Amino acid sequence: MGDVDSLVIGGRRFASRLIVGTGKYESFPMMAGAVTASGAELVTVAVRLVDFDDRDGDLTSFLPAEVLLLPNTAGARTADDAVRVARLARAGGLPDWVKLEVIPDGRNLLPDPIGTLEAAEVLVGEGFTVLPYMFPDPLLARRLEEVGCATVMPLAAPIGSGRGLKLRESIAIMIEEARVPVIVDAGLGAPSDAAAAMELGADAVLVNTAIARAADPPSMAAAFRLAVDAGRRGYLAEVMEQQSAEPSSPLAGIVGAS
Amino acid sequence: MSSCTVNGRLHELEEHETVARLLERLGLNAPYALVERNGEPVERASYPHVALESDDRILVARPVAGG
């Protein structure tokens, strides 16, 4: 593996194929411990108005200095909302990378494909590196590629649900067709889900809740790191075709057979 | 005395108060204080130069934990 297998997004090279979120941790130090243990080089943050009555510490000061912050547009219900958040983040000094989320529906948290495409086109035009969160629709993925998105990020299952690779077949088609990295984002629950996504050929996975809500987040982050690595190696080594039973030991010379 | 709003709250302006001075008065010295003025994002490099005016609608945001 090593350098030759690094992930390239928007011209930037990453050794880690695990991207992590910073949400839902009990504390910033706990979050920082998990991020460090995950080995992630790309870390998502949200953007929110400062609450002058209830100020906690500065999240970014807890993160390892070498990680690239990936602002998301979580909370945006329309394309315009998302574009506004991305512009605000970049103007204020955050990277010109954006995890684009346009989610009008608060119950199932499913992304709006049309709003996502509209916002992606505007943001790419303004020079952003756009990583869109999307339902795993291969044709939408193609449209997002065509407008210049750096990746496509299909959900495995609803955000925060931990249900695993429920949309496997659609994600498999996306992986076959995609010309940009496919990052499986949302819904992974166990490290084995991440391994399965990587074995399928995903270029990376993004995990937040599954790590943050584990009893021991840093340990779970390390487990996901290993699972992503295992899945990637399995994919590169080419998983065998499924077939009917076939003995692994010789049929000749069985003791007691003659 | 003139005033603007910051995240919907009334803010009495000092004379020639800039975005940088506003953040200082608010105690926001975090590396990423994100500012929107009347719906337009303000570039970080211009925080020391952009003077606030009466009735400006200012939003101040920052990165928080998220997925």
Chain B positions in Cβ-Cβ contact with residue A84 (cut-off 8 Å): 36, 41
Among the partner-chain residues A46, A50, A94, the one whose CB lies closest to the CB of B66 is A46
Question: What are B49-54's contacts with CB under 8 Å, separation 24+?
Answer: B49/B18, B50/B18, B50/B19, B51/B16, B51/B17, B51/B18, B52/B4, B52/B13, B52/B17, B52/B18, B52/B19, B52/B22, B53/B2, B53/B4, B54/B2, B54/B3, B54/B4, B54/B13
Per residue in B8-63, pLDDT (tens digit) is: 999 999 999 999 999 999 988 777 899 999 999 999 999 999 999 999 999 999 99
A89: which chain B residues are within 8 Å (Cβ-Cβ)? Answer: 34, 63
pTM, whole model, 2 decimals? 0.92
- Within a domain: B23: yes
Mean pLDDT of chain A: 95
Pick from A28, A58, A88: CB nearest B41: A88
Reading the block at residue A113, the tokens are 């494909």
Q: Does B19 touch chain A (CB under 8 A)?
A: no
Residue B67 in domain: no
**What CATH number did the domain enclosing B38 receive?**
3.10.20.30
> In Å, how far from its chain's centre is CA A20?
7
Fold of A2-50+58-237: TIM Barrel (3.20.20)
Q: Is residue B28 part of a domain?
A: yes
Q: For chain A, say whether B38 makes contact (Cβ under 8 Å).
A: no
The pLDDT assigned to A4 comes to 64
Q: Rounded mean pLDDT of A43-54?
A: 91
